[in-house]
Structure 1
Amino acid sequence: MLKPYASQPMETRGRLYTETLSTFRSPFQRDRDRIIHSSAFRRLKHKTQVFVEHEGDYYRTRLTHSIEVAQVARTIAGALGLNEGLAEAIALAHDLGHSPFGHTGEDALVELMAPYGGFDHNAQALRIVTKLEKHYADFDGLNLTWESLEGIAKHNGPIIGPYADPKKHPADAPLPYVLQEVNDQFDLELHTFASAEAQVAAIADDVAYNHHDLHDGLRAGLFTADDLMELPLTGPAYEEVDRLYPDLDPNRRDHEALRRIFGYMVEDVIAIANNRLSSAMPETAQDIRDMDRTIIRFSKPFFQNLKAIKRFLFKRMYRAPSVVIERKRVTGMVNALFPLFMQQPELLPKEWRQEIDLAQSDTDLARIVLDYVAGMTDRFAIQEYERLFNK
């Protein structure tokens, strides 16, 4: 049974293009299924989080990360009486707009697109689900519900207004052009917080990457279990495992410790959310949106402990010498491919030529090139670079 403040599927604000209801699936379940069957979702298999796609079969990709986020989102949403289908749909879609080479590729495209309206991976995800997926007879995109589009756009918080994060969204900065286009068609109420389900998807993202980046960093040899013994949360987790399972095989020891950290995070979120919901007593999903802060978050002490882990990961993993070297290499690829396609758009595949013919300015062309480059997988970007520059 859904709580009154959950997003009720039969009260959806609808789709941009009207469709008949599905016989067996709610509107939000239908959104989830369309995302899973999209081309962009399949491409996440060869887009990486931290490591480049070819570096190892065991490291997380955007696809495995999105599946893990969806699993966490379902668990939290179910425990809180929220709509699991909507939380899962937003979780599965939240990384669709990421470029090749993780945040390294995104940073490069942000600079390259600065003269042409910028680049933001959340906005690019909206562009994918509203325009770039071209499979249906009646519309471009996936024609998702308003609630799913809202969740993709602002699961990390309001974009404009008094509650927007000024570091991410300066008050005097224009909206990313993609976000502006979608919002003009289908007002996403960018000044409010998102639904509780979207907030769950956002916190599930934090849970998943805090857990799996520790695991991937250990596997890559960037740090050791002894290093993690010195940190809050991870140290007590290892101590508990050592007490219960003396002389456990190192791989099993790591797994047992990290799964406990995973559990700590989920339990903290659920406990704090239940307390906040009991105190605020929201009666509708809109009441959640109209609050002055997120309702789904970590407790303050727990969040401080997570910040210590994030600082450790930033130094030992995200800025590890081997990772930095690879970042420079793949940044060079993106910085070479983008201007080449701007100068010679005829190099783009045939199916993109019609879009190019309609371009009326350098900005129009840059946005087409962005759609193409941002949609590349790590593997394809490397192949294209080798083909075009190492003849």
Structure 2
Amino acid sequence: MTDAHALAVFAVRAETSRGRLHPEPEAIGRSPFQRDRDRIIHSSAFRKLQYKTQVFVNHEGDFYRTRLTHSIEVAQIARSCARALGLDEDLTEALALAHDLGHPPFGHAGEEALAQAAAPFGGFNHNAQSLRVVTLLESRYAAFDGLNLTWETLEGLAKHNGPLPHPPAYVADYDARHPLDLGNFASAEAQLASLADDIAYHGHDIDDGLRAGLFDFGDIAHLPIVGAALADAGRASLDMPPPRLRHETIRRVINALISDLLAASRSRLAALAPGSADDIRRAKTAVIAFSAAVADANQAIRAFLFARMYRHWRVNRMTSKARRLTEELFRMFHGDPGLLPNEWRARAGEPGSARAAMIVADYIAGMTDRFAMDEHRRLTDIAISG
């Protein structure tokens, strides 16, 4: 638990939490945000992340990141930065661990396919799905659906990318029952968790891309931040083997991004001089941020990864199959909800309806890569029993 005396004045404080939608007695020895983190870690959705694609489909190799290892890396970066800025570490960690709970199988390919298939019925959004998971779909408690997380954690999940003047349907519906102040920024803890996500995937996607041979050291030498990190790593040992050079480079990239984030955020905080967490929420711009130069560098890194990794022909082949498989699962289940397992079929309603589309999207989004492929085979291979 974060020491209350070490918290900055603008940090969220556990003792003034706005509580839970369904009141519960608090746990002795654990803050409300520690309890949120523990509920997230013990959830079914969190465990499934170990078999959900980050970039490479799970069976492509044991060393590539999955949604689970990505989430753990985000949490490590976020918690370390939270301590440096005097923020509540437990809330920051909870948000980092929960931010990808709504991702469907097969990474962004699966999300794009599900969003397109569900577009006539309201679409699909993984951030909204994360909120749906923790407020509705997890069914572990007798007294309520979801995990009954604190207001502060739900606010941070809903506003993962900033204020939501036009929220997705489920976020708007939930906000009508339990207002999350969608028009303002989230807490500094939530803003930090979001940027820790950027730092983690820049680092590990370069690492995985090098490991997979999608590009080499020469290809990244021109990139801002990355090129300087590579050169500095090379100077550490003139005969360093490639695996060590890769690791030495990546840790320097992550360190450079973290150092800039902390310096830029401290500067913004000093200029705003917030006296409370609500002052952070009411600010006109985000207060946890990179400097302008590093924000531009991040865009250049992102553009490189998009062109040389996410659209590499080897990745394109995987994503093409993943999109097709996801679309076919949606079409089959939506057209005939009788194919769904009993607990899902009972909620799906009429074939082709908006209700069926929502339930089918929930079902598919909750699948791991492996289960989605197995389910597709069960539905399309007449030699396999149901």
Same fold flag (TM > 0.5): yes
What letter corresponds to residue 97 of structure 2 in structure 1? L
State whether structure 2 residue 371 is matched by structure 1 residue 380. yes
The partner residue of 1:241 within 233, 240, 247 is 233
Structure-1 separation of matches of 2:344 and 2:115: 22
Is 1:325 equivalent to 2:317 in the alignment? yes
Aligned mates of 1:334, 1:276 — CA distance in 2 = 43
Amino acid corresponding to residue 365 of structure 2 in structure 1: A
Deviating 4+ runs (over 4 angstroms):
none
SS of 1:85 mapped into structure 2: helix
Distance, in Å, in 1 between the alignment partners of 2:81 and 2:162 is 18
Match of 1:193 in 2: 185
Instruction: Show the counterpart of 2:3.
Output: none
Supply the distance in 2 between the matched residues of 1:303 and 1:130 (Cα, whole angstroms): 33
Q: How far does residue 360 in structure 1 lie from its aligned partner after superposition?
A: 10
2:20 counterpart of 1:54:
no
Matched positions, count: 377
Shift of 1:230: 2.0
The alignment status of 1:69 with 2:74, answered yes or no, reads: yes
Q: Cα 1:141–1:360, aligned 2, differ >3 Å: closer, same or farther?
A: farther
CA drift of 1:390 comes to: 2.4
1:1-391 matched pairs, under 5 angstroms: 1-160=6-165, 175-356=167-348, 362-391=353-382
Q: Which range moves more in the overlay, 381-390 or 14-23? A: 381-390
Query: How far apart are the structure 2 equivalents of 1:233 and 1:360?
Result: 52
Structure 1: how far apart are the matches of 2:64 and 2:78? 21
For structure 1, the residue ranges without an aligned partner over 5 or more in a row are: 161-168, 170-174
Letter in 2 for 1:11: T
TM-score normalized by the length of structure 1: 0.94
1:289-316 superposed Cα distances (whole Å, 9 cap, x missing partner) = 0011100111011111222111111110
The one-letter amino acid paired with 2:249 is A
Secondary structure of the corresponding residue to residue 266 of structure 1: helix
Q: Which amino acid aligns with 2:74?
A: V
Cα deviations across residues 159-214 of structure 1 (Å, max 9, x unaligned)? 10xxxxxxxx5xxxxx3221122111110111000000000000000000000000
**What does the per-residue CA deviation read over 1:208-230, in whole Å, with 9 as the maximum and x for residues that have no partner?**
00000000100110000121112
Residues 31-66 of structure 1 deviation map (CA, whole Å, 9 limit, x = unaligned): 000000000000000001111111111110000000
CA contact (8 A) 2:127 2:160 kept: no
Give, in whole Å, the separation in 1 of the partners of 2:322 and 2:87.
41
Moved more, 136-145 or 338-347: 338-347
Q: Which SS does the other structure have where 2:207 is aligned?
A: helix
What displacement does 1:353 show? Answer: 3.1
Cα distance between partner residues in 2 of 1:329 and 1:123 = 25
Query: In the aligned structure 1, how far is the partner of 2:227 from the partner of 2:356?
Result: 52
